[in-house]
Amino acid sequence: MIVLVLLGFALIIWLEAPGLVKKKMWRELVAFSVFLAIGMALTIPQVYGIRPFKPNAPIEALFKPLAELLKKP
C-alpha cells in the first residue's frame, strides 16, 4: 500500500514540477513542494495505521478551562 501512495506522489511530482521549472516559477515550486511534503507527512502515517496529529488539540486544551468557567452561573 505504501508503494501505491509513493507512486501517487511521484506521479503528481512528475506531472507538475517540470512545468513549474520550465516556466521558472520558483516561488510556486517551493509552495508546491511544501504542500506536497505536508501531504506526504499526513498520508504515510495513515497507511501504517498511525493516527495523525490533531491540530485542534492544543486549541481545545487552551480554551477548555475558559469554556468551563463560562458555563458556571
Q: Are 32 and 16 in contact (CB under 8 A)?
A: yes
pLDDT (tens digit per residue) in 20-60: 999 999 999 999 999 999 999 989 998 999 987 777 888 88
- Alpha helix (H) residue ranges in 1-73: 2-22, 26-47, 57-71
pLDDT at 4: 95
Domain chopping of the chain, boundaries = 2-71
pLDDT at 73: 65
- DSSP type of residue 51: P
pLDDT at 69: 87
| Amino acid at position 16, single letter | E
Tell me the C-alpha distance between 64 and 62, whole Å.
6
